[in-house]
Amino acid sequence: MPVEPPVQPTTPPAEAPDPDPGQPGGPPPEIAPPGPDIDEPAPETTPSIDPGITPGQPVA
């Protein structure tokens, strides 16, 4: 009967630890760094209310 080799431990040896994937000392890749699209304020959008109608007034 052949002798089976010993089962290797699932944890890596202490002298060669597995580096954290996607963690080169910075934020994880899923968190994108803030770019100009985040730093810049949102562009002025047209108000949902018509300029001629004052908010709070009932619609005729």
Q: Are 29 and 22 in contact (CB under 8 A)?
A: yes
Question: For residue 3, what pLDDT is reported?
Answer: 78
Residue 55 has which token pair?
């908010």
Quick: pLDDT tens for 1-60. 677 777 766 665 566 666 666 555 555 566 566 655 555 566 666 666 566 666 666 666
**Cα distances (Å, whole numbers) of residue 25 to 4, 19, 21, 28, 50:** 41, 11, 10, 9, 51
| Cβ-Cβ contacts under 8 Å for 46 (sequence gap 6 or more) | none
